[in-house]
Amino acid sequence: MTKNLKYQSVSIGIMNKQINLRLPTTLLKSAKVRATQRGFTNVQDFIKETLRQELFEPISKKELILVKKLIAASDKHGLYGSEKELYAKLKRK
């Protein structure tokens, strides 16, 4: 099975919002079964991933090639720092 890679904007230092969702019993039961089949620990995680898949475009092959080249160049030139440093750099952009 081939999975499409997806990307998502990630908020750094911002609290996530909570929502309440009412589902018919049959829909909730079906969602629980599907979540388990797909390896999710709960229905909430399944719903979040389903929304991500619906809202964000798949990464194209061209974009994936560029990401792989960036990773290779970063490895070659030792451009990695700590996660904290990376986030600081990304926040400045």
pLDDT digits (tens, 9 = 90+) for 34-86: 999 999 999 999 999 899 888 887 778 888 888 888 888 887 887 777 777 77
Question: In DSSP terms, which residues pair with 58 in a beta bridge?
Answer: 6
pLDDT at 47: 94
Residue ranges of the alpha helices (H) in 1-60?
25-37, 43-55
What is the total count of domains within the chain? 2
58 close to 5: Cβ distance less than 8 angstroms: yes
Residue matched to tokens 């990401």: 67
The residue segments making up the domain with residue 42 are 21-56
Q: Are residues 62 and 84 in the same domain?
A: yes
Residue 30 lies in a domain: yes
Quickly tell me which residue has 């099975």 as its tokens. Answer: 1
Q: Are residues 88 and 62 in the same domain?
A: yes
Looking at the structure, tell me whether residues 93 and 65 fall in a common domain.
Answer: yes
Q: What is the pTM of this model?
A: 0.49
- Whether 43 and 35 have beta carbons less than 8 Å apart is answered as yes
Residues 45 and 63 in one domain: no
86 lies in some domain = yes
Q: Under a CB-based contact definition with an 8 Å cutoff, are residues 1 and 55 in contact?
A: no
Asked if residue 3 belongs to a domain, the reply is: no
pLDDT at 25: 96
Q: Are 34 and 47 in contact (CB under 8 A)?
A: no
